[in-house]
Structure 1
């Protein structure tokens, strides 16, 4: 009979999520998009990490908030999206969609298993009832631990299905995007900016109104040294271009998900899924050595 410690190693060496390999240990990629931040409708596949969080009791698609897929089973969003959500397990998350009125075959839909809200910040995590599979239209987002004004990360973008000033609305709910500029902290004019550190932006195109992005949606910036985009903030309100900075909750993400202590992604440290994949790889190598020490 195998020793108990060997059984524990075997259990640790086999990931509990069968779809980790579909993401190839990467995050922040956009396989389908060549252009970004046009200030209009985004092309299909331009935001593969973006999620639509939906209440089935709401009219239309049920879209309530945006979110970001950070592992195959966890979506990052804003806590204010759930002020009176008693039965969150009836809610759904749609990934890989461009038009919410007609998501298409590339979209993946998952029910919500549970909700975890930060005690002090306007951020929350949704655990999905089963993992999604990464594809050209569904990818993981990278969470940055950089400071309030991330060095080496620009340009920056916002996107979502929310309404925009000066744009007529129809029955379709089509993804849009816009390029933004990061502002110095003292230039933040959001109502919550004075009470706690925030990241504030303004639209790069003059005269295009306020960035009325979905609550819970991401502010992403590009690493100038690679093809990766990093999530540096979560929208804390539908107006004012104010975001909760990622560096304030990146450690909380790890604790909430129950992952080993480490860095959940920044330009330098490895993203969350890469940390886990490395952990499982080390455990598998150790198990192989224990089975055959001679190699």
Structure 2
């Protein structure tokens, strides 16, 4: 009996690990501790929060939300948001790539809440291909939707889960509890994105009202969804583009991504709510693009291409509603942790090539310590033509040098004249003072 129990336990663990490895077709689930529920939504859990600045989201609160980064953007590098709808596919907005000429410079951060400190649950993937809608029009923002195929699948974990995309059987207009989230600007005039993920509740707004003369005056398409408040205050803003508009299922505990953040007139203006691309409207396009990928490896969606059931079945599509008996927060296996880093061949932190390292020293031909040439040393002695100890010219008479004691060569008069002079002086003195004078 004990052996039978052990076998059952091992089989159960094996199924759990298998489900975790490939995300198991589960989607839309949040951890129980992060699910605010209807009470928080209705009775003021968010207080006076404004999405245009937002309330900081808790870690892993929206596990399918991703941040698109561009290598040339300063700061955190955040460019747009997106939703993970398959282990290798991200749903986002087409207009995010209007000015991107090289898709290889874009990479995806999944499982992060604070971009400057992603944490151990974050993973990074590069973009294998970009598939924008073939009829996307950047002038009127029609068909503003795109898919990114990642270079290799992500590993689902408590930090990373798949988003649910609704088909045409879901009545989106009847969903009550909806939220927006993103790393966009925290105020209408902010010039930088938010480092911490922001979130806030919104209400779905009737499309006819949103398109009326006092609102958007016919600029809204049938493939759009409007969400926010008539008085403004709460809205997505710059940098939130491509991120999800999420609504909780009215019966189950998972969320549907019903919209992709597209555009809006200003941020949080009265009668000008956020405009989103309807994911339900482009449900078939999403399936077709994923199935038509030339890089796909027999994906689950491609294998089941054809007529789809009206009600999502979790065993057939990776973005369908998950069964309650298989929550997505089960522990990952030790051999495949959720914090797997990107391959070494293409890390976002690649250093410059060795041929031009930032620490290159100056060439040896001109080292900074080169001494002056020997022809002009700073200690050069004066030339022999003008030495500082030059003797006087020969025309100048040298000073007399003393001779022996019996000669007075320095006196200019001859000796006989001196004897005569002193004799006369002696005689004169004798006459004046007498004969005793010597």
Q: Which bracket does the TM-score occupy, shorter chain normalised?
A: 0.7 to 0.9
SS at match of 2:79: strand
Q: Does 1:235 align with 2:250?
A: no
Counterpart of 1:212 in structure 2 is: 237
Counterpart of 1:273 in structure 2 is: 318
The structure-2 alpha-carbon separation of the partners of 1:273 and 1:149, relative to structure 1 and needing over 3 Å to count, comes to closer
Q: Does 1:221 align with 2:247?
A: yes
Q: Write the mapping of 1:63-212 to structure 2, written as runs, cut at 5 A.
A: 63-120=78-135, 121-146=143-168, 150-165=172-187, 173-188=195-210, 189-190=215-216, 193-203=219-229, 208-212=233-237
Counterpart of 1:248 in structure 2 is: 281
CA-atom RMSD in angstroms: 3.0
Q: TM-score, structure 2 length as denominator?
A: 0.53
For structure 2, the residue ranges without an aligned partner over 5 or more in a row are 1-17, 50-54, 136-142, 268-272, 292-301, 321-438
Kindly state the Cα deviation for residue 145 of structure 1 after the two structures are TM-superposed. Answer: 2.1
SS at match of 1:142: coil
The structure-2 alpha-carbon separation of the partners of 1:24 and 1:191, relative to structure 1 and needing over 3 Å to count, comes to farther
**Per chain length, whose mean CA-contact separation is higher, i.e. which structure has more relative contact order (CA < 8 Å, sep 6+)?**
1
Contact persistence 2:184–2:236 (CA under 8 A): no
The structure-2 alpha-carbon separation of the partners of 1:269 and 1:63, relative to structure 1 and needing over 3 Å to count, comes to same
Counterpart of 2:386 in structure 1 is: none
Question: Which string of whole-angstrom CA distances, capped at 9 and with x for unpartnered residues, describes residues 43-84 of structure 1?
Answer: 111110001001011111111100000000000000000013
Q: Which moved more, 1:163-172 or 1:71-80?
A: 163-172
The structure-2 alpha-carbon separation of the partners of 1:63 and 1:147, relative to structure 1 and needing over 3 Å to count, comes to farther
Structure having the larger proportion of residues in strand? 1
Counterpart of 2:139 in structure 1 is: none
Q: TM-score, structure 1 length as denominator?
A: 0.77
> How far apart, CA to CA, are the structure 1 residues paired with 2:307 and 2:162?
16
Total equivalences in the alignment: 256
SS at match of 1:126: strand
SS at match of 2:80: strand
Kindly state the Cα deviation for residue 261 of structure 1 after the two structures are TM-superposed. Answer: 2.2
Contact persistence 1:142–1:265 (CA under 8 A): no
Q: Which has the larger radius of gyration?
A: 2
SS at match of 1:236: strand
Kindly state the Cα deviation for residue 25 of structure 1 after the two structures are TM-superposed. Answer: 2.0
Contact persistence 2:183–2:194 (CA under 8 A): no
Contact persistence 1:19–1:132 (CA under 8 A): no
Kindly state the Cα deviation for residue 105 of structure 1 after the two structures are TM-superposed. Answer: 1.2
For structure 1, the residue ranges without an aligned partner over 5 or more in a row are 1-17, 276-295
The structure-2 alpha-carbon separation of the partners of 1:209 and 1:182, relative to structure 1 and needing over 3 Å to count, comes to closer
